[in-house]
Amino acid sequence: MDKETRTRLIQRYGDGPEVLRTAWDECPSEARNWKPSSDAWSVHEIVIHCADSETFAFTRIRLLNAEPQPIIVGYDQDAWVRSFGYEHLPVDLALATIAAVRASTFHLIQRLDNLAWNASGNHLESGPYTATDWLATYAAHLHDHADQIQSNVTHWRGRQ
C-alpha cells in the first residue's frame, strides 16, 4: 500500500466514530430496536457490536507491532450478540468505548513507520494478516456499519 493510500485510510479510520455516531443520532428512536429480519441486527445491536469489534481491533494492531508473528483470534459475532444480550446493553457506553478506543489507536497508527505497516501475523480465520490488512478492514468498518444503520432505517420506514 502506498503512503498516500495509507494516509487516506488512517484519516478514514479516525473519522469512523463520528460517522457512526451521526448514523445513530439520525436514527429515529422507534427504529433503533427494529430488525429487518429475524437473523439481522437492530441498530442498537450494530452499535454494541462495533464497540466489541473496536476492542478486538485495538488489541490486534498492537499484537501485530509488538510481538513476532502473533496469532490473531477471530470470534463469532452473532454468538456474541446472543450470548451477551446486546439489545440490553447501553449504547451510550458503547459509543464512548468506540470513541476512546479509536482515539487511542488513531494516535498510535499515525506514528507507525513503513516497517511497522509490514508487521504480520496469522489470523486463525483468514491466514496471513498484516498491519496493512488491519487498516484496510478497520478504516471501513464503522463506515460500513453506519451504512447498515441507514439501510435499517430505510427498511423500517418502508414497512410503515
**What digits encode the pLDDT tens for the residues 13-55?**
999 999 999 999 999 999 999 999 999 999 999 999 999 999 9
For residues 52-75, one letter each, b for 16 or more C-beta atoms within 10 angstroms of the residue's C-beta and e for the rest, the string is bbbebbbebbebbbeeeebebeee
Rounded-to-integer distance, Cα 120 and Cα 28, Å: 42
Render pLDDT for 49-84 as a digit per residue (tens, 0 to 9).
999 999 999 999 999 999 999 999 999 999 999 999
Is the CB of residue 45 less than 8 Å from the CB of residue 38? no
- At 159, the pLDDT band (50, 70, 90 cuts) reads confident
In the block, cell 440490553 appears at: 88
- Which tens digit of pLDDT belongs to each residue from 115-152? 999 999 999 999 999 999 999 999 999 999 999 999 99
Q: How far apart are CA 27 and CA 23, in angstroms?
A: 6
- Superfamily of chain region 3-158: dinb family like domain (1.20.120.450)
- Residue 89, classified by CB atoms within 10 Å of its CB into exposed (0-12), middle (13-18) or buried (19+), is middle
State pLDDT tens for residues 127-137: 999 999 999 99
Q: What is the pLDDT of residues 97-115, one digit of tens each?
A: 999 999 999 999 999 999 9
Q: How confident is the model at residue 90 (pLDDT cuts 50, 70, 90)?
A: very high
For position 160, what pLDDT does the model report? 62
